Every structure is written in C-alpha cells, then in structure tokens.
Structure 1
Amino acid sequence: MGLKRMDNVGIVVESLDAAIAFFHELGLKLEGRAMIEGEWAGRVTGLPDQRVEIAMLVTPDGHSRLELSRFLTPRVVADHRNAPVNALGYLRVMFTVDDIDATLDRLRGLGAQLVGEVVQYADAYRLCYIRGPEGLLIGLAEELKSGDPA
C-alpha cells in the first residue's frame, strides 16, 4: 500500500494567537510558526501570490499534527465555522482526552461552548462537541475503563 500516515489537518482561522492558545490549553504543543509565500506555494494551492502565516501543533504522543493558517492574501472567501454537523465537507477534529469534564472546565475559560451535551456511548466513551475559537467545531472523547459509571 502506498499510504504511510496522515500528516496533519489544516484549519484556517482569523486569530492565530487565540487558536494557538486554545489548542495549547487542550494539550497540543506548538512546534513552530512560519510565513508561507512565494511562487512555489501558489503552485501547490492554486492561489498565486498567497501570504499565509501558519502554526504547526502536535499532539502529546507526537503522531498527529494540526496546522493553523491565517491568510493575509488572498482574502478569505468562505466561512464554514458555524455550519451544522450535517453540512457537507470537513466537519470537525476529534481529540481523546483523559477527563472530559476537567477539559471542558479549562476550555470554557477560553470561550469554548458545549454544542449539545456530554453523552456516554455504551461502556466505551463519553463524547461531546464544542465550539472552540472562532466557532470551530471540535469533538472530545474520553475513553472509559470497563465498569466506569460515568
């Protein structure tokens, strides 16, 4: 098979600093920030003359990355942040956390809002969706040990 791994998920934001702070509080580590521009970048994305500031964050296990992008040029042309969960296209990023209640408490301090409620799926998970920075939809999952009453 030719596939080796999924390298990262990209999210376009208005405030790179606010998004970095939010995902850092969630537990991701900032690997670096950079400006992406030049002829080569436009050839990859199909957006000539682009100037994009990016930040790359990595999960604690080092296996997954989140690339946050703030477009300086060209301007943003669409906004999918507040699309409902049944909208076509990319929907959300899901993270597994140790304690969903403690995570929600920390993230609410940065403006996160619970979309519905925290629910339990069988004896396997507690799950919820939140709206994070700029209305981004983010899923949280807490793996349950067999016998957890949650």
Structure 2
Amino acid sequence: MPCRAVRRLRKTLGRRGAFLLILGTGKTCWGVSFLVAPPNDHGLQLLTNLCGLRHWSWLWIVCGIITLGSAFLRVGRDWFGFAAALIPPTVWAIAYTAAVLNGDYSRGGFVALWYLTSHVGVILWAATVPEYSVPRVPRPARRGKAA
C-alpha cells in the first residue's frame, strides 16, 4: 500500500514538482531555523537595519510554502513556485554583496556567490527542465523471413 501511494505521489508531482517540493520544504525549514535560533547577523546588516532576522525568517517561510504548494500544480502553472524560490536567496546575495562593498564582511562575496550559484542558478536551471522524459530508443526491427 505505501509503495502505491509513493508511486501515485511521484506521478502527480513529476520531476519539476518533486524539485519544488524538496526546495519548498528546505526553504521553510531554513526560515523556521531563523525563528527558533537566529544566527548572528554577520554580513546581513543591510537587512537587519530594516528589521530583525526573526522578521526576515518569514520571507523564507512564506516563499518556501508557496514553492512547496506550487509542486502540485501543472507544468506551466508552477512558475510561481520557481519565482518564489528565487526571492530569498537573491535578497541574501544582495545583502552579502552590500556588506562586501561597505567593508563590513569580507567573506560576504563568497557567500553571495554561493547563493547565486547553488541557489539562484540551480533554481533557474530547474525551471527550464521539461517535465516529459526522453523517449526510449526504438528497438531495431526484427529480421523476418522473406515471403
């Protein structure tokens, strides 16, 4: 029975939906971690000047829930999940880049590049992955007897 449910879920989600489900879950958990035990704000002064990290955690949580919910939408309608998934890492990359330019956090350039490549880049790539799979290579025709 559980295997049937997993197969049904995989069929419902497809490749793009599975990616959005995993990404949305991760973003939501990352946001909750900022609520439970906020880290120090090294390199995030651009954000913390506006409000605390606990408030910024809601950006991750809301975007994560939108991304997670978009996993169950049809291809073509799931774009909203990919767009929502781009927002938090882009905001964090901008904050770390600003910290480098201000001289507040020299390591921020590497962190910004990490967000831009492993988050933004991967999300942009996954948004272009087609849902359908590549068709199988046809089997060669059988040799029959000439009539």
Category of TM-score, reference length = shorter chain: under 0.3
Structure (1/2) with the larger strand percentage: 1
Greater C-alpha radius of gyration: 2
TM-score, structure 1 normalization: 0.27
Q: Which has the higher contact order (CA 8 A, sep 6+)?
A: 2
Structure (1/2) with the larger helix percentage: 2
